[in-house]
A and B are shown apart, each in its own frame.
Chain A
Amino acid sequence: MKRSQRDDVIVIGAGTAGLTAAIRLAEAGASVRVVARGIGSTHLAPGTIDVLGYAPGGEARVPVRSPAAAVAQLAADRPDHPYALVGAEVVAEAVAWLREAAANGPLPGYRYAGELERNLMLPTAVGALKPSALVPETFAAGDAAELGRVCVIGIAALRDFYPQLCAANLRAAGIDAHAASIELVLERADASMLGLARRFDDATWRASFCALLAPLVRAADHVGLPATLGLSDPHAVLSELERRLGRRVFEIPSLPPSVPGMRLYEILRQRLRAAGGRIALGASIVSHQRQGERIASVDAATAGSETTYSADAFVLASGGFHSGAIALDSHWVTRELVLGLPLQGLPAASEPRFVAAYGAEQPLARVGVAVDRELRATGAANVVVAGASLPGAVPWHEGSGEGIALASGYRAAQVVAAELGAGIGAAA
């Protein structure tokens, strides 16, 4: 016996792409349910929106200066790239939308800074400079173009951030950087990024932290801290630190869990809630029912027995290889596991599936669910694909993962809304 539910749209996946599509559709009046096995990419990525850091194809790794221009160029050069399908205009709309969503979100005063005309170059945990188009305001002062003397602060118990390494590599990039560490008495021998962020939420703890920090940063104009400046009110934490220290302060992302990513999840999740969208986490999609060229319903492995979710349209935003939604098995067969949809970008049977060279583009790197120009899955006309499920991109080379997720999620909602048309809200 199966349980059942019915909505206008089922969104599969709770990462940036899925949540963006769900919010846009819910705000358009559709009844929307996000069904996901767990929390998605937000908690693992730095929380920045990297639209395009490196143009594909070039020999040297020269960072893109203007993502706006480079996205338009990429869309023209590579018709199979997600940005070509989505279009440069939609990328710009989606970025503007996210900026608005953050500014009106649950974290008071917390905004996203940056623009599509110029990438910011921000220090990573190892002191490399990474191009990002849109960043949390807590990152903005780290832009290499503006950096004066930098003091990178570590916390002795924090196992996931080494300020000396970060500062040394920044120096190698021509930035006047030095490192300092703070000894904190903590309950545990080690501390995580998350544990520290919860401390920063506490005003008393924050004040004593500033007192310890102040003498260390006298010689600096800018202070870089691991990205731990609070979960509930990061704008207030940043303002207070800058006021107490009299210096610009910025966050540097490190290993997961990503505190700025958790803030982004909270912004999106609460926006979805406010729009009347729902989320069911925990259950995997295990089967589906077809009606000709359409998917009629999907079955999720909920507790006790499966639940059949019927909908007029589906957004597939379940991710690619790294989320487990696309898999290469030991027989070298590659499959999309959620809906069994055909893939695109697969090497020919005689070609290698893997090359043994570190950093080289892998033959399977551009594999994704086969789609048409409107992101509709081949063979499933009412399934629109978004995010890392899409073929044609190598996000970790291009520095484009969040940009693709955001823009394709936004575009997927447009396609679905147009299809539902007058039917929106019928199942509400």
Chain B
Amino acid sequence: MTRLAEHELLRGSLDHCVKCTICETACPVSNVTSLFPGPKYAGPQSERYRIADEPTVDASVDYCSGCGICSQVCPQGVKIAELNAQARDQLKRQHGVPLRDRVITRPTWLGRAGTPAAAVANWSLGFRPARILAEKALGVHRDAPAPRFAGRRFSRWARTHTSPAAARRVVYFHGCGTEYYEPWEGERVVAVLEHNGYEVVVPKQDCCGLPLQSSGLFDAARKTVLRLARALAPYVADEHTIIVGNATSCTLMLKREAREILELDDDPDLRRVSERTYDVCELLLEQHARGELRTDFAPLHETVAYHAPCQQQGHWIGKPALELLALIPGLEVRELNARCCGIAGTYGLKAEKYEIAMAVGSDLFAQVSASGAATVACDSETCRWQITHGTQLPSVHPIDYLYRAYGLE
């Protein structure tokens, strides 16, 4: 299928829109700001006025955060968020891309630059005058949550680590957050997988291109995700090896978004990788359903709040992390009932969108405080950084609780 045909297929889903407004009830952004008129307006309604090569008449679609909840709740299967992402790409082509969007959407550049100079980089990220300068010069909000460089890379650890040979093998896709900012999360994922009888292979890999895509830089996003697909595909050439990731938005990019939004459904490498990719909690829950997950959990006597990120919800598999956490004796899990933390990857970093992102997240932050939990479990790293920014509480991947309950510390 050509890319145009794929686009027309996506567009064809508009005909199923009955204007029921269910998407509007779920949109985190339009419920806090009038700058974004809502998914129905920006999507199925405005799309009729978008004509190839003609100027975009309405720029409000840039305020869509790309969280994807509209497509998830639509009872008619309309690809609302996907079309809005494409409209944003068109908008950027016509109106140009700010330098900021070229920089903050490349975690690999940032990570490679920041890691060797972590002390200096981290200091400047916390240094007010530097942040004000970055806001003025680049448009990155001075208060936006900025992760700290770990100063070491996960892949370095992985190279020195030998995973014990086992009957089942998984390929670990760790993503940039684990690589540059939270390498310990990757070590824990590997330990939990090995504990459950997997041999873990860590191929050389790079960014999935999601930040580029969600900022509307589709050409660069396509190059990036295809490079990753080429790197991973040879590892799943057999019939059974799977890929597992802990960065839920990046695994969703591989599974669905690159195929639909970037219209790369025809690429055989990406398809194979997409079909084989699992979210780590999804994989472990599937193993549990087969009665094969180890449940030698020691009790954890504490309370944790759990937030399912929008991008995790985009896998359309419910909340596997919640089901896994429920297996740990003693652990009190409070499921939060808010839609979104607001950050949406890089959305909440942008100076003109920071306040919106914080307003979106305010409901979640209030629920965290009311929950009495000392930590928040969440499957996406950018969401975790935003939650910590909004609540001052630590936020970790759900896998951390399994890691501790298994006694792997």
Contacts and interface: CB of A to CB of B under 8 A. Distances in A.
Interface of A: 1, 3-6, 33, 36-40, 43-44, 187-188, 192, 194-195, 198, 256-257, 262, 270, 273, 278-284, 300-305, 307, 323-324, 427
Contacts of B274: 304-305
Given A43-B25, A303-B256, A304-B277, A38 B77 contact: yes
B362 to A, nearest CB: 12
A44 B323 contact: no
Contacts of B37: 188
20 contacts: A1-B242, A1-B275, A6-B289, A39-B22, A39-B73, A192-B24, A194-B21, A256-B20, A256-B22, A257-B22, A262-B25, A278-B319, A280-B316, A280-B317, A280-B318, A281-B318, A282-B313, A300-B316, A303-B316, A304-B256
Given A38-B22, A304-B256, A305-B275, A187 B34 contact: yes
Contacts of A4: 286, 289-290
A323 B25 contact: no
A1 B73 contact: no
Contacts of B252: 303
A302 B315 contact: yes
Contacts of A192: 21, 24
Most buried by B among A43, A195, A282: A282
Given A4-B286, A187-B34, A281-B73, 18 more contacts: A1-B240, A4-B289, A37-B75, A38-B76, A39-B75, A43-B21, A188-B34, A194-B21, A194-B24, A194-B25, A257-B20, A257-B22, A262-B25, A278-B318, A280-B316, A280-B317, A304-B315, A323-B75
A33 B318 contact: yes
Nearest to A276: B326
A300 B316 CA distance: 9
A3 B278 contact: yes
Nearest to A15: B75
Contacts of B115: none
B31 interface: yes
B74 A302 contact: no
B335 interface: yes
Contacts of B77: 37-38, 284
Contacts of B239: 1
B9 to A, nearest CB: 14
> 5 smallest A-B Cβ distances: which pairs?
A282-B316, A304-B255, A280-B318, A38-B75, A303-B256
Contacts of A302: 315-317
Interface string B12-42: 0000100011101110000100100100000
Contacts of B337: 270
B71 interface: yes
A38 B72 contact: yes
Interface string B287-308: 0011000000000000000000
B72 to A, nearest CB: 4
Contacts of A38: 22, 72-77
A302 B320 CA distance: 13
Given A5-B285, A39-B22, A256-B20, A303 B314 contact: yes
Contacts of A281: 72-73, 313, 316, 318
Contacts of A282: 71-73, 313-316
A427 B322 CA distance: 17
Contacts of B319: 278
Contact of B323 (A36, A37, A262, A278): A278
Nearest to B38: A192
Nearest to A266: B337
Given A43-B22, A280-B317, A303 B255 contact: yes
Nearest to B276: A1
Interface string B59-88: 000000000000111111100000000000
Contacts of A43: 20-22, 25
Contact of B21 (A37, A40, A257, A305): A257
A189 to B, nearest CB: 9
A260 B385 CA distance: 35
Nearest to A265: B25
Nearest to B291: A6
Contacts of B20: 43-44, 256-257
Nearest to B323: A278
A52 B252 CA distance: 45
A273 B335 contact: yes
B282 interface: yes
A315 B290 CA distance: 23
B217 to A, nearest CB: 22
B254 interface: yes
Query: Which of A3, A38, A39, A262 counts the most chain B CB atoms within 10 A?
Result: A38
A257 B24 contact: yes
Contacts of B286: 3-5
A303 B319 CA distance: 14
A35 to B, nearest CB: 8
A324 B76 contact: yes
Nearest to A273: B335
The interface centre, meaning the residue of B252, B285, B318 with most chain A CB atoms within 10 A of its CB, is B318
A194 B74 CA distance: 17
Contacts of A188: 34, 37
A302 B314 CA distance: 9
Contacts of B276: 1, 304-305
A279 B76 contact: no
Interface in B267-281: 274-278
Nearest to A186: B34
Contacts of B74: 37-38
Contacts of A304: 254-256, 274-278, 315
A279 B318 contact: yes
B126 to A, nearest CB: 35
B208 to A, nearest CB: 13
A194 B239 CA distance: 49
Interface string B313-340: 1111111001100000000000101000
Contacts of B275: 1, 304-305
Contacts of B315: 282, 302-304
B25 A257 contact: yes
Contacts of B255: 303-305
Contacts of B278: 3, 304
Nearest to A282: B316
Contacts of B256: 303-304
A191 B277 CA distance: 42
Nearest to B33: A187
Contacts of B73: 38-39, 281-282
A3 B77 CA distance: 21
Contacts of B322: 278
A37 B22 CA distance: 12
Q: Which of B20, B76, B276, B285 has the most CB of A within 10 A?
A: B20
